[in-house]
Structures are given as C-alpha cells and as structure tokens.
Structure 1
Amino acid sequence: MTWWGSLVRVQSRLPIPNKPPIHGGFSLARRALTLPRRGRYFHQPIPATPSPTNVLPIQPPCRPLAALALALLVTGCAAPGEAPPPARLTEVDQLDLGKAFPDGGAAPAAPWWAELGDPQLARWVARAVEGSPSLRIAQARLQQAQAAAGIARAAELPTVNGTGDFTLNRFTESEFIPPPYAGHHEWDNKILAQARFDLDLWGRNRSLNAAALDTARAAQAEAIAARLSLQTAVVRTYLQLALSHALRDIAEATLAQQQQILDITQRRYRAGLGTQLEVSEAQTPLPTTRALIEQINDAIARQRNEIAALAGAGPGDAAGIAPPQIDLGRTTPLPDVIPAHWLGRRPDLIAQRWRVEAAGQSVRAARASFYPDINLGAFAGVQSLGFTQLLDGSSFLAGVGPAISLPIFNGGRLRAELGASTAAYDVAVETYNQTLIAALTQTANLIASVRSLDVQIDETRQALVSADRAYNLALTGYRAGLTEYLSVLNAQSRRLEEQRRLAQLQAQRLDAQTALYEALAGGMEGSPSP
C-alpha cells in the first residue's frame, strides 16, 4: 500500500463514523474502519488495493501530485538560514579588577546583621521576612514560573483523553442507504479513548521544558534577591534610626550645656560682672537647639514607620520600637582580601545567568521547529447504531499509527521566530554582562568608601578631642572672667559640629558596610547556579 493510500476517503453504503483526529499534516496511520455487516458493525482495515466499491476513483493526474508531495516531504523543509554570531558572556577573569578583588579570604557569616549586637534589629528583620508583601509577590512570581515549567514538562509526556458522542441521525433517502435506515432516525453512538505522544526527535519540547525550568530557577534567585534586599533595607533604616537617636542625644546634651551657660551668664549679670548683651547672646541658641531636637524627633517617627512598613506592619506597631542599642563606633574591619568570586553568590547575577540559559534553550527550540514533527496516535472504543449493542464486543474499534507534520512554506514565520529568539538571547547575555560590570563597580566603590570612611573617622576623632579641649578651656576662662562669651559660643559650636560629624561618619561607615554585605550577597542561602 502506498503512503498516500491511507489518505483516500472511503465510502460505503452507511456513513463512516468520524475518526479521532491525528495531529499532523500528513497522516500515515493505517486506520480501522467500521463497515456494515448484516446490521452489525465489524472492523476492517483499508484494503491494500482500493476497490471501486468503497473508494472514490483516483484520477491519473493525482499520481504526479502524490509524487510531488513526497518530494516536498523529503526536501521541502523550511531552512533556518545563517544566524549572526551570538553575544558572548563576560567572565570575571576577563576584566581588570585592580587591587580591590585579590584572591582568598572568607565570605561574611550569616546573618551578618548579628554583628551589630542588637536583638531588636534581629527580630524586626525576621518579622520583615515573614510578613513583607514584597516577598510574597516574589514568591508568587516564583510559583508562576514553576507552574509554567510544569506545563512545559507535560508536553514531553503522553496525553490520554476520553470522548463520548451520541448523535440522533436521520439517514437520507437520496443516497445509497439501505432499508430500514433510509428515511428513518437512529442513534449514532461512539465512546473513544485517544492517546497521543510526541516523539520529539529534534528536542524541541525538551528545550522548551529546559527553558521553563531555567526561568523558574531565575525566579527563585530573584526571590532570594528580594529577600536580601528587604533585609538590607531593614538594617539600613534601623541604622538611620540609631543615628537619629545619637544626634538627639548630642542635641539634648548641647541644650543642657547651653542652659548651664545661660545660668552662669545671668549670675554674672546679677553680680555686675556681665552685660545684658551677654545674657541675650546666651539665650539665643536655646530655641534653635530645641527646634533641632523636634526635627530629629520627626525623623525618628518616620523611620520607625518605615521599619514597620517594611515588615508589613502598621504605624501602631512602629510605636513599640525602642531606641536602638547599636554602638555606632563599633565597626567590623574589612578582610585584607575580598575575592572576586564572591560576586558569583549574588542572586541578581545568578538570576541573569539562568535567564541566559533559558534564552539559549529557546533558541534551540526555535531551530527544532524547522524539522518534521512526528507523533504517535492511538484510539480505542466502541461505536454502534442504537444503544443495545454499544457495549457489545462487536462494537469495538481501535487504531494506531504515526502522524508527521513539517513546515514547507509559512511566510518566513519560523525564521522570524528564530531571529527573535536569537535577539532575546543576545539581550539576556548583554544584560548579564551589564549586571556583572555594575556589580563590580558597586562593590569596588563600597570598598573604597569603607576604607575612606575609616580614615575620616580617625581624623574626626582627633578633631573632636581638640574641640573638647578648646571648649573646656573657654568655659573655664569664662567662669573665671578671663574670656568673653563669644569664645565659649564658638568653641561650643565647633564641638557640637565635630560630635555630629563623627556620629554621621560612623553611621555612614556601618551603612556602607551593610551595603557591601548586600553587594557580596553576605549570608545568602545558596541558589543553584548554571
């Protein structure tokens, strides 16, 4: 039997029931057909040589067309054409890292915020991880990606479906329908189970499944990145809260000193040793300092609300945040070396790498679309006229066979899809390269900032020692009547400025260290890396 023999439509005196569809453009299935026999149905394959009684006559011109179709089947597949060279991933060792990333060293311990020694901070970080809406969004996106991977995985497995068709037919009297069916109504009933399996000879489904899995892994890494970002945001906001409390303590101490100086000035004035001008000058800084304290209180309230919001809580919970117990002067020195391979732990880099892998699998799937798609199909069930013999053994029917479809002409759609997949791969690669360079730049800048802040803190401490000495000398001389109040006021202003500057530098140092830990993915639980 020729390959096109199975494509011939068979006619009989009774209409042949519809067969279950077999996927593909050219069906090669040798199907079982149901033909009447003494009022009952039996199964008979398509004869090797079609007879004039059950086939439409094949005209001689069809034979050249069949040969042409066979030639197209073999040689007519759409060609993918030549693709431009793909983009290349940039590896860390391809970049000049300078002296910021020597080899060696140990990664930060987890959880790294425990080094600050504040149990309240650890509780709020844990609460944020548990209740933050942003993390729930990241987890939901991860579940979406995992579900998509499950859908892609299903394409590699066989599918089995069941159908039931119960149709009341009136048979025509104008064709070759024998009595007693002609002009009468009869139920045409069919129950089928259909199975289909894609052989996936060219790996298209496997590539799509791999791309979906890589996308899910990228979503997993992005969820870890969201968690790390949230933890860092809580710690940095808490450090700002600690700085605000430190600045308020300095301002309150300054206010107390200013009140003390005012009392001294008033006593001197009452004793006839001072002037009203000195009393007025001593009164002037107090309202300014009280306004500064109120400004700091406003900042403290807003920072508490921000911490509560990061944890998914309301402003009522923010009121329960006690003053931080962080010593701003307590810093952790940087290790002598910060190896560049620590950057490989960054979840954003891991996510981008997985997206590159997913894009590569999509390119493979697009190329596989140019080749024939071969499926295996089978069906089995029962079919009869009426219900009395539906479940009888003689009503059984079945069929099995392959089906093939291949692209011959599609208006350039497959090439366009391949071009789009290749471009998406290039975008993923260059996005990874850009993320890597940005990570190196960010980390190098933070390392430079931390080391610079260490030097600035040392210099500011020395300046504060000098300012304290000058203030004490000026205050002692003023009490003894040896210096004017202006000297005390200037010395006090310089001392206050150095105190505030030292607290701000120490907070900046802790903030930069926190950002550096985030840049190095400090304490991040490992995510699978490609």
Structure 2
Amino acid sequence: MSLPRRLLAACLALALAACADMGHIAPQATLADAHALDGGNIDDAASAAIDWPRARWWQALQDPQLNRLMEQALADSSTLRGAQARVRQADALAGAAEDKSRPQFDASVSVNRELYSQHGATPAPLAGNYAWRNQATVTASYDLDLWGRNRAALAAALGDVQLASAESQMARLALATALVRTYIALSYQYTVQDVIRNSLAQRARILDITRRRRQAGIGTDIDVAQVETTLPAGRRQLEQTNEALALLRNQLAALSGKGPSAGAAISRPVLRLDRPLAMPQALPADLIGRRPDIAAQRWRVQAAASRIDAARAEFYPNVNLVAFAGFQAFGFSHFLDANSQVRGASPALSLPIFAGARLRAQLGSQTAVYDGAVEQYNATVINAMMDVANAVTKAQSLQKQHALTQQALATAQRARDLAEQAYQAGMSDAINMLNMQVALLAEQREQAQNGASELDLYVSLMNALGGAIED
C-alpha cells in the first residue's frame, strides 16, 4: 500500500475512533394513527354531498355586513400581522440555514505600519525601523457535511417556516370564529330586544284594560298595581339588552381592527343559513391535513426530528476545506506584483473527542423536545376528534330541541290568549294573565336562543373542520 493511501486509511480510522458515544439516546414517544381512532357518531353523520369548508365559510350566512367586517378584520388585525411577521422571521432563518450548505467566501484587507524589533526575528533592513505591512486575501471554505448536519438543520428551519405558516392559519381561524360568534350574539340580542318590546307593549295594553275595568267598577286598585309592577322590570330588561348591543358593537369594531366609534355604524344583522349541518366524508383521515392546529403540531414534530438528526451528526468528525489567495508585501511599491501573491489550501478536521458529555446532553435535550412535540400532536388529534364529535352531538340534540321549543311556544301562546280572553270576560284575574305572559316571554326568548344556537353550531362545525386552509 502506498504512503498516501496509508495516511488516508490512518486518518479515516482516527476519525471514526474519535466519534463520541451517543449513549443509546433515542425518542420514546409514538405518533398516534388518526385512521385507527373510532369516529363514533362522526361516521354516522358523514355525507358524500357535504364539502369541506371553503376559505370564506362565513359567506354561507348570507350577510353582506358580516362579509365587510370580516374583510376589514383580516386586513387590519394586529394579531394576524404579528403571525405573518413570525412567518417572515422563520423564512429568513431558513435562508440563513440554507446558506451554511453553500461555499463561504470572505475577503480581508489589512494595512499596518509597524516598528519592528531590532532584536526580534525580523531581519535587516526592517529590524529597528518602521515599515508598512500590507495584505489582501480572499478566503473560500466549504463544509463537506459528510454526516448531514447542515442538511438536517436546514430541514428543521424549513419545518419552522411551515409551523409558523400553520400558526398564522390558526390565528386567522380564531379571529374569524370570534368575529362571527360575536355577530351572531348581536343578532340574538336584537331578537331579544324585539321580544321584550312586544312584551312591554302587551303589558301596557293589559294595564289599559285593567284601568278601564277599575273605572267600570269590575276591577280594583290592587289589580292595577299588580300590572304596573311588571313594567319597570321589563324596562330594566330592555335597558340591559341595549347595553349588551352597545358592548357587542364595540367588540365587533375591535375585532375588525377599528376603534369603538366604528361600532355605531353596525346595523342589525340579517343572518340566514340554508345549508344542512353535516360532516364531509373521509373523517378522520382528511381532518389531519385540514386543521391548522394539527398541521402546526405535525410540522413541530418534523422540525424536532430534524434537530435530532443534526444533534446526532455532531458526534461525527466535521471536515472543512479552506483555500485562500491574495497579495502580501512590505510597502506599496510591489504590493500587486505577481511575486507578492500568496495562496494556500488545507482541510480542517474537527474531532469531538472530548465533547461526548456535552453532545449527549444536546441529543437528550432534542430527543425530549421531540417526545414532547409528539405528545402534543397526539393530544391535538384527539381534541380535534372531540370537537367534531361534540358538533355532531349538538346538531343532533338541537334538532330535537327545536321541535320541542316550537311545541312549547305554541302552547304558551295559546295559554296566554286563553288567559287574556278569560280576563276580559271577568273570569280570571290579572295575575294569571301576567303569569301566562311571562311564560310566553320565556318561550320566545328560548326560540331566539335556539336560532342563535343553530348559527353558532355552524361556526363550531367550521372551526372543528379547520375552516379551510388559505394558500
């Protein structure tokens, strides 16, 4: 064997021997298989006729004012802008990681005037005199990345970009969900306001009838007082509703990125939902790729796995190739002459001989981060399935509640009418009729709540299904 080959073999053997021991450090967590999860009532509610949510799912509520508020919110939200800034930051860091995998170039220029020692290593005529010592060089270096450390670091950085993008989608969905739910609450309060106003008008009519009965001698002051007592309570409820409307307008203005004064311009909602509440097919498999929180956790796991690869690569020797070229001279007269050229090339070998404890600690840390990310992913998948299952359960229950509410409302309306007829005929007192009016008011509010719950259920379903990923 020739001497160069022997030297190469010896260097290789030395390099491999210099590898630090990893100590059998490995991840312990296992990713959950969403396909293996029992969908339960989700599978029963799936329908081939139902599509996944579209990007602007709130437009299904058919309210132009809501659409305008949403466009303002998505354009002016500081929360979304902050999330988008984090995406740009991650992208910039990925660019820096990618640059490490390329050849690195550097240039340096030094111009020094020095006094050289008369008794040093510098010979005459420089010894004991001042002289200019000038140098200009260009240096190139390249990390061979034999064990994939830089590639793994780049993969982790690219995973962080995807993670930040998914988190931006999460912020977008959270903002849209909050705005639509607040808008539904505003619509509900308007309906409650109508119910209370109608109830007050009805009580005022009863009071008028009671006063006329007293004047006719078939009623008493007690009857009048009993009816009058209910009016302040009704007016208080109306004022509470007016307060709730004002607060909800302020909240909508804030969510849309505006000041409180913008809330005064928000008019009464006109929400309508004409589509059925059902699940698309391919649950839970497609849910994994459509919910931004699951996507974010998946990218967090992948980035953590890449960082484990980078930490493992640290246990192996690192080889850099370095070359330089330039000019070096005393004084300026011959600085750029051909004879003033300097050049050189050499490999740089870094051996982790004495860094085993530190490297094992780093690997153990990255492995623990990976295990934590996996468990977060598993929990997110399970919570996502729970969200969808809850939406299905609420939809099934709401259908039954709606039918029962209609029955109760019809019964309360009929009871109130009969009580009023009996009162006008002198067969009943004012208290009985007022009790029937209170019962009717409660059922009317329940009907309004039922309608708001149906709209809110649509929002819950869109949120549970991921709300559609924006490109």
Normalised by the shorter chain, which TM-score bucket? over 0.9
| 1:335 aligned residue | 278
C-alpha distance in 1 between matches for 2:320 and 2:47: 55
The AA in structure 2 aligned to 1:448 is T
| 1:8 aligned residue | none
The structure 1 residue matched to 2:34, chosen from 92, 95, 99, is 92
The AA in structure 2 aligned to 1:238 is Y
C-alpha distance in 2 between matches for 1:176 and 1:426: 60
User: Does 2:23 match 1:81?
Assistant: yes
The AA in structure 2 aligned to 1:195 is A
C-alpha distance in 1 between matches for 2:123 and 2:456: 93
The structure 1 residue matched to 2:219, chosen from 269, 274, 284, is 274
The AA in structure 1 aligned to 2:240 is Q
| 1:213 aligned residue | 158
Q: CA deviation at 1:336?
A: 6.4
Q: Does structure 1 conserve the Cα–Cα contact (< 8 Å) formed by 2:253 and 2:263?
A: yes
Aligned residue for 1:482, secondary structure, equals coil
| Closer, same or farther: CA 376–104 of 1 in aligned 2, 3 Å | farther
The alignment's C-alpha RMSD in Å is 2.1
| 1:424 aligned residue | 369
The structure 2 residue matched to 1:114, chosen from 59, 78, 86, is 59
The structure 1 residue matched to 2:199, chosen from 245, 254, 258, is 254
| Closer, same or farther: CA 136–394 of 1 in aligned 2, 3 Å | same
User: Does 2:263 match 1:322?
Assistant: no
Q: Does structure 1 conserve the Cα–Cα contact (< 8 Å) formed by 2:35 and 2:285?
A: no
Unpaired runs of 5+ residues, structure 2, are none
C-alpha distance in 2 between matches for 1:294 and 1:144: 49
| Closer, same or farther: CA 75–472 of 1 in aligned 2, 3 Å | same
Q: Which moved more, 1:506-515 or 1:167-176?
A: 167-176
Q: CA deviation at 1:476?
A: 1.8
Q: Does structure 1 conserve the Cα–Cα contact (< 8 Å) formed by 2:42 and 2:279?
A: no
| 2:401 aligned residue | 456
Q: CA deviation at 1:201?
A: 1.0
| Closer, same or farther: CA 342–292 of 1 in aligned 2, 3 Å | farther
Question: Runs ≥4 in structure 1, deviation > 6 angstroms?
Answer: none
C-alpha distance in 1 between matches for 2:128 and 2:160: 61
The structure 2 residue matched to 1:473, chosen from 418, 438, 441, is 418
Once the two structures are superposed, residues 59-86 of structure 1 have per-residue CA deviations (whole angstroms, 9 ceiling, x without a partner) of xxxxxxxx9x997544122121212453
1:278-357 map, 5 Å: 278-327=223-272, 330=273, 332-335=275-278, 339-344=283-288, 345-357=290-302
Greater RCO, CA 8 A, separation 6+: 2
Q: CA deviation at 1:343?
A: 1.7
TM-score for the superposition, normalised by structure 1: 0.84
User: Does 2:68 match 1:123?
Assistant: yes
| Closer, same or farther: CA 82–336 of 1 in aligned 2, 3 Å | closer
| 1:244 aligned residue | 189
1:473-492 map, 5 Å: 473-492=418-437
TM-score for the superposition, normalised by structure 2: 0.94
Unpaired runs of 5+ residues, structure 1, are 4-27, 29-66
The structure 2 residue matched to 1:202, chosen from 127, 142, 147, is 147
Once the two structures are superposed, residues 74-131 of structure 1 have per-residue CA deviations (whole angstroms, 9 ceiling, x without a partner) of 4122121212453111021222222323565331344221221211011101110001
User: Does 2:112 match 1:160?
Assistant: no
Percent of pairs with identical residues = 44
Aligned residue for 1:100, secondary structure, equals helix
Q: CA deviation at 1:177?
A: 3.8
Q: Which moved more, 1:165-174 or 1:222-231?
A: 165-174
Aligned residue for 1:107, secondary structure, equals coil
| Larger Rg computed on CA atoms | 1
C-alpha distance in 2 between matches for 1:337 and 1:390: 76
| Closer, same or farther: CA 72–432 of 1 in aligned 2, 3 Å | same
The AA in structure 1 aligned to 2:287 is L
